[in-house]
Amino acid sequence: MTEMKQRSLLERFFGKPLPWVAWVWAALAAVWIFFAVVAPSNFHTFMAIAWSVLAVIQLGAAYHARRQQLRRAKAPEGPTITH
């Protein structure tokens, strides 16, 4: 099967999630959590919650993409017809 047929709809539209991008999102979430603890305000709390949720989504997407990639690598190739 070709790589294009194995990719999900989200991967076709947005590309494969990169782990380093997910960790940058997590670092930004940690910074906003720090601000929410040190100088509590509604804005800091909102941003801490929003960035944390987005970071979890990014990390989950990167983890899922990695699992799919490993699963595809382990799966035997289907029957191929050679002429």
Closest residue by Cα to residue 35 from 27, 25, 22, 45: 45
Maximum Cα–Cα distance across the chain:
70
Query: What digits encode the pLDDT tens for the residues 46-72?
Result: 999 999 999 999 898 888 888 888 887
Give the pair of three-digit tokens for residue 34: 């720090």
* Model confidence, pTM: 0.70
Query: What digits encode the pLDDT tens for the residues 11-20?
Result: 666 667 788 8
